[in-house]
Amino acid sequence: MILRLALLLAVSLLTACTSLPPAPMAERDTLGDFVLEGRFALRVSMPGQAAQNSGGRLTWTHQKTGDRVLLASPLGYGLAEIETTPEISRLRTADGRTRESSDPDTLIEDVTGQRLPISRLPTWLLGRSGGAAQITRDPLGRPVRLIEDGWQVDYSFEDEHPGALPARLTLSRPGEIELRLRIEAWKDGQ
């Protein structure tokens, strides 16, 4: 019995030694397609109303051909799925309803009453801009703050590497909307 356990342990250790290390993650400046998993907290403040809060988990797959975002409650129950392509944006809710629009930002505004810059988020997540953003960088060259069209994105990193991907983001339109993302995992989507 002891011999069998020892052999099993030895085989396990040898297997572990021969397995390949995980492929290195692309750096922020070179990352194109990606998958991220994390948590979100959203706070919306409407004039004359109490602030509304929601939160949960998300899995976001970004590819050149479009995006797919799965939203779930903090306990993991599916809430909604958002899919965007160059032709159409679609939102499916847990109760089976589907809404469509040719523009993702318009779709979200129709559903929530708030215009969120969904189409810009993939570039903003990586500290890039498709327009005339002001980007403040830290001494390592990483984005600390991005300001564009009334939106502000603040970045936080857990890795001291200059090409590190952000671990936390706060996207806000001061006094109106605040979206906080805690990114638990980045994966290269290629």
User: What pLDDT was estimated at residue 57?
Assistant: 95
* pTM of the predicted structure, to 2 decimals: 0.79
Mean pLDDT of the chain: 81
Q: Which amino acid is at 19?
A: S
C-alpha 114/C-alpha 47 separation (Å) is 13
Each residue's pLDDT tens digit, 119-137 = 888 889 888 877 788 999 9
C-alpha 67/C-alpha 33 separation (Å) is 10
Superfamily of domain 26-188: Lipoprotein localisation LolA/LolB/LppX (2.50.20.10)
User: What pLDDT was estimated at residue 49?
Assistant: 78
User: What pLDDT was estimated at residue 172?
Assistant: 93
Q: Collect the ranges in the chain with pLDDT lower than 50.
A: 1-24
Three-class HEC string of the chain? CHHHHHHHHHHHHHHHHHCCCCCCCCCCCCCCCEEEEEEEEEEECCCCCCCEEEEEEEEEEEECCEEEEEEECCCCCEEEEEEECCCCEEEEECCCCEEEECCHHHHHHHHHCCCCCCCCHHHHHCCCCCCCCEEEECCCCCEEEEEECCEEEEEECCCCCCCCCCCEEEEEECCCEEEEEEEEEEEECC
User: What pLDDT was estimated at residue 1?
Assistant: 40
User: What pLDDT was estimated at residue 13?
Assistant: 31
User: What pLDDT was estimated at residue 21?
Assistant: 37
**Encoded tokens for 74:** 């903090």
